[in-house]
């Protein structure tokens, strides 16, 4: 198994406004966004200056039938919950430009 010590996994499902907390959403509803994909998630984390890796061949365990993909983020010692909110704010900016 590959060591991914400095990296933390972030799934697009964490940011989806249509999901409940039980279904995998991790951010508060006011920070959640609609139609999250892994490429936008990757772009927003990179824009914030995080070192990331995009993995497109993995599926979220709770909803294995959804689109695949996740990113690994080096949070530089920050708490995952704080990074989730930072990335979700950036996702909102990216989606508003579309």
DSSP string, 54-82: EE-S---GGGTTSPP-EEEEE-TT--HHH
| Assigned CATH topology for domain 7-97 | Phenylalanyl-tRNA Synthetase; Chain B, domain 1 (3.30.56)
Whether residue 84 has pLDDT greater than 70: yes
Residue 96's pLDDT is: 84
Sign of the CA dihedral 94, 85, 70, 79? Answer: positive
Rounded to two decimals, what is the model's pTM? 0.88
What's the confidence (pLDDT) of residue 69? 93
Q: What pLDDT was estimated at residue 4?
A: 63
How confident is the model over 1-59, as pLDDT tens digits?
455 678 999 999 999 999 999 999 999 999 999 988 999 999 999 999 999 999 999 99
């Amino acid at each position: 198994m590959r060591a991914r010590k400095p990296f933390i996994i972030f799934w697009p499902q964490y940011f989806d406004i249509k999901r409940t907390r039980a279904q995998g959403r991790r951010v508060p509803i006011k920070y959640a966004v609609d139609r999250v994909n892994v490429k936008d998630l990757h772009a927003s984390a990179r824009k914030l200056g995080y070192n990331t890796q995009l993995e497109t061949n993995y599926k979220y365990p709770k909803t294995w039938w959804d689109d695949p993909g996740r990113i690994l983020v080096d949070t530089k010692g920050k708490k995952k919950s704080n990074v989730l909110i930072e990335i979700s704010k950036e996702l909102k900016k990216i989606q508003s430009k579309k």
